[in-house]
Copies of this chain bind each other. A is one copy, B any other.
Amino acid sequence: MTSETSRPGRQRLAPEVRRRQVLDAAVAVFSEEGFHGASMDAVAARAGVSKPLVYVHGGSKDELFAACLHREADRLLDAVQSAAGAPGEAPLVRLRRALRAFFHALTTQRAGWTVLYRQASTGPFAGEVDALRRRIVEEAADLMADGLGVPRAVALPYAHTLVGAAEGLADWWLGDPDAAGDGVAEPADVLADMLLAVVGPGIEALTNGSSGSIASSSSVSGER
């Protein structure tokens, strides 16, 4: 037996490399098939390794899925946070950058986003997913509270609204990637601008209204 890699299937790799291999495959498969629909066989095949190795590096199916969730959520949050920058800058500029980063991250992490937002909100990971989502919403709430000069408790529902709106827009775009973009700017930037066009004026108007009577500041409150 020579010292060369005599059998290609038995290639020894550094543990962290193998772990990333497995996680990448898992994210891909989970995003395509959902948690229950995905099989460990499929993950192993996608990673190009044997099934026991998936267990060695990824743990049980539940653990593997949780690891996917966390890694993808961390990536997303990191991207948004670092784009938002320090609290000193103009708040709406920070929001704009954060939104652009958010939509941009979807382009490069589409599978991760799907795992986080389309597959896992039901089933045994609802709680885990909710906690991860909360981290994102709270980042948005911080930005808005800072920008509007209102208490965080007041900003919270608007943050949920904003994040929900972003999700809705993102889903539409991911379902039909050619529909957005004018061919000049980055699609992610276009999406961020579309979103701001819808919610920007409303958010600005909120700065002038008292927290309790926000609804009455709407221009469509004529009825009843």
* Chain A contact residues, CB within 8 Å of chain B: 31-37, 92-93, 95-97, 114, 118-124, 130, 137, 156-158, 160-169, 171-173, 175, 179-180, 182, 190, 193-206, 209, 212, 214-223
Q: Which residues of B contact A194 (CB under 8 A)?
A: 157-158, 161, 214-215
CA distance A161 to B220 in the complex (A): 19
- Closest partner residue, chain B, to A191 (CB atom): B157
A217 touches B197 (CB 8 A): yes
With A164-B166, A165-B162, A168-B167 in contact, is A201–B219 under 8 Å at CB?
yes
Give Cα A201–Cα B203 distance, bound, in whole angstroms. Answer: 9
Highest count of chain B CB atoms <10 Å: which of A124, A163, A166: A163
Can you list 6 residue pairs at the A/B interface with Cβ under 8 Å? A37-B122, A157-B169, A158-B194, A158-B198, A164-B166, A198-B199
Task: Looking at the assembled complex, report how far the CB atom of A157 sits from the nearest CB atom of chain B, in whole angstroms.
Answer: 6
Partner among B93, B166, B220 whose Cβ is within 8 Å of the Cβ of A222: B93
A28 to chain B, nearest CB (A): 12
Least CB distance from A44 to B in Å reads 16
Q: Which of B93, B172, B222 contacts A160 (CB 8 A)?
A: B172
Q: How far is the CA of A10 from the CA of B35 in the complex (A)?
A: 30
